[in-house]
Amino acid sequence: MRRAPATTLLAPCLVTLVLGGCGTAEDAPAATAGEEPAGSGAAGSAAAGSASTGSGAELTARLVDPAGTQVGTATFTDAEGGLELTVEVDGLPPGFHGFHVHGIGLCEPGSASPTDPSMTGDFLSAGGHVGAGSTDHGEHAGDLPALFVDQAGAGSLTTVTDALTSADLTDDDGSAVMVHAGRDNYANVPERYAAGGPDEMTRNTGDAGGRIACGVVDG
């Protein structure tokens, strides 16, 4: 799925209400540390991130870790001004985590990157962010506010975005909601810290690290 974002994360059309905490995240294309949970995809989402489409244009993804254990849910519903996303997680490491929508509805542990088969890791099967390739990270349609997890391992997030539609989430490739291991800097690296600004990896992913939970959002 490749769709130029209709808005940026910092734009006024993206309204965020954090119920349990929020943060940012991105995936690191590191092929060394494993990355992909018992996956599910547009074709097989029962084991690792099944999605269901209910009446009222509701899409629900079951977030699982690389071992296939359910760690939360993410639900998209139609709302005034766009799509409302509600996330509830439990059993994740405390802190801020990059949180995005990725362009392929396939969550597989230890899988290969669709664009570079030599790179393997947890949930790499889900590809990059929705909108990647059209603009730098921070402005991808799939870039969302960070998810904050408390010391007990629980977190929640509610946000509304007009950068994505239900049709975007359920296209031929499907899509997946992703939680990253680390914080997302949204490629915000001022030139006073780096003469050339953020490097290519930062512009692509925001340096949020590996992928620790994934849920298919296709119908």
For residue 130, the Cα-to-chain-centroid distance in whole angstroms is 9
Could you give the C-alpha distances from 113 to 18, 56, 73, 78, 116, in angstroms and in order?
32, 34, 24, 31, 5
Could you give the C-alpha distances from 46 to 50, 93, 108, 175, 189, in angstroms and in order?
5, 24, 12, 15, 40
Q: What's the pLDDT at 218? A: 66
Dist CA 69 CA 47 (whole Å): 9
Asked if 148 and 155 touch (Cβ cutoff 8 Å), the reply is yes
pLDDT tens-digit profile, the chain (219 residues): 444 444 333 333 333 333 344 343 344 444 444 444 444 444 344 344 444 444 456 999 999 999 999 999 999 999 988 999 999 999 999 999 999 898 899 999 999 999 889 999 999 999 887 756 666 655 556 788 899 999 999 999 999 998 888 988 999 999 999 999 998 777 677 777 777 777 777 666 767 788 999 999 865
Query: Domains along the chain?
Result: 19-186+199-216 (2.60.40.200)
Q: What's the pLDDT at 43? A: 38
Query: Which residues lie closer than 8 Å to 48 by C-beta, 6 or more apart?
Result: 37, 38, 39, 40, 64, 68, 107, 108, 109, 214, 216
First to last CA, the chain: 14
Asked if 157 and 19 touch (Cβ cutoff 8 Å), the reply is yes
Question: How is residue 66 written in tokens?
Answer: 């690389």
Q: What's the pLDDT at 140? A: 58
Using a 10 angstrom Cβ sphere, with 0-12 exposed, 13-18 middle and 19 or more buried, the burial of residue 203 is middle
Q: Output DSSP code: residue 205.
A: H
Dist CA 127 CA 2 (whole Å): 11
Q: What's the pLDDT at 155? A: 97
